Chain A
Amino acid sequence: MAELLAKSPCEGLLPKEVDGLTLSEAKRATMTSLSPYRGQEAVLSDVLKTEHGMALPRPNRSAGKEGARAVWFGQRQVMLIGPDPAVSLADHAALTDQSDAWAVVLLEGEGAEDVLARLVPLDLRREHFKKGHTARSQLQHMMVSITRVGDARFQIMAFRSMAKTLVHELEIAMKGVAARRAS
């Protein structure tokens, strides 16, 4: 029997490169939201540490590294990105598969902060938004999760259905920043 073909959210839209700034789609990863049950945060954190090597991140922070990351994702909500979630996590938290719900893009390069300053009402400059910092906010009119995953590298997540708008907005801002630099 034929297999169903998989399509990534940004297929055909990325990558883009403008004057040293790049926008690319993150490698597909399992994404699972974890919402701890009442009073289970500490235990959940321990289990997460044992099973996936990182404690439950505090608000506005992420933990782990490329391939296995836990990103704070909202009130009482953390997104585990990378590993398939250990079964034991389900004893302490509501688990929801979100692998297909988000378009995940990476914005990289000198001036990435300036690009985001045109779209996001947050201070994302390196001194204030360090590596590992994360925020839920808005990019233009879209709800997003933004995480600094490198010195000049941001992971941006928006609803999958909005991938085209996400790329469009980022590309305009990238071009604007590049044009200013050139002048």
Chain B
Amino acid sequence: MRLTCPVCGERDRREFYYMGDAVALRRPDPEAGDAVWDDYLHNRDNPAGVTRDLWQHEGGCGAWIVVTRNTMTHEVLETALASDVKGSVG
């Protein structure tokens, strides 16, 4: 498997650390309530299809990356710097 780091370019999967769903980027307000925090921390979709998750190019430049990929075909559709994605969702 290969992923394209927006900084370094296409690299072998072994250079990356996998974290999980990119929902992690949308950290709720501290007062958002138990249900919202429960969702944020624990509840994840398990899509047969397109998913977005967070990887770190730990063995490379260190950038955290949002990877959009298809769990059925293993196709990687898009990669973007997490800091850019976070910046755009606020």
A and B touch in their complex, CB below 8 angstroms: yes
Where the two chains meet, the residues of A that have a C-beta atom closer than 8 Å to any C-beta of B are: 59-60, 74-75, 77, 121-122, 135-138, 143
Residues from chain B with a CB closer than 8 A to the CB of A121 are 11-12, 14-15
Q: Closest approach, in angstroms, between the C-beta of B67 and any C-beta of chain A? A: 16
Flag if A138 contacts B8 (CB, 8 Å): no
Contact of A138 among B9, B15, B62 (CB under 8 A): B15
Tell me the complex Cα distance, A77–B57, Å. 14
Tell me the complex Cα distance, A72–B39, Å. 39
Residues from chain B with a CB closer than 8 A to the CB of A122 are 11
Flag if A137 contacts B62 (CB, 8 Å): no
Q: Closest approach, in angstroms, between the C-beta of A138 and any C-beta of chain B? A: 4
What is the 8 Å Cβ interface bit string for chain B, positions 8-20, against chain A (1 contact, 0 not)? 1101101100000
B66 within 8 A of A: no
Residues from chain B with a CB closer than 8 A to the CB of A59 are 7-8, 61
Q: Which 4 pairs between the two chains have the least Cβ-Cβ distance?
A: A121-B12, A138-B59, A75-B63, A74-B61
Residues facing A in B5-43 (CB within 8 A) are 7-9, 11-12, 14-15
Tell me the complex Cα distance, A137–B61, Å. 8
B60 within 8 A of A: yes
Size band of the B side of the interface? 10 to 19
What is the 8 Å Cβ interface bit string for chain B, positions 48-72, against chain A (1 contact, 0 not)? 0000000000111111000000000
Flag if A135 contacts B15 (CB, 8 Å): no
Flag if A143 contacts B61 (CB, 8 Å): no
Flag if A75 contacts B62 (CB, 8 Å): yes
Flag if A135 contacts B8 (CB, 8 Å): yes
Residue of B nearest to A139 (CB): B59
Flag if B62 contacts A74 (CB, 8 Å): yes
Q: Closest approach, in angstroms, between the C-beta of B21 and any C-beta of chain A? A: 22
Residues from chain A with a CB closer than 8 A to the CB of B11 are 121-122, 137
Residue of A nearest to B58 (CB): A143
Residues from chain B with a CB closer than 8 A to the CB of A74 are 60-62
Flag if A75 contacts B61 (CB, 8 Å): yes
Residue of A nearest to B83 (CB): A75
Tell me the complex Cα distance, A137–B15, Å. 7
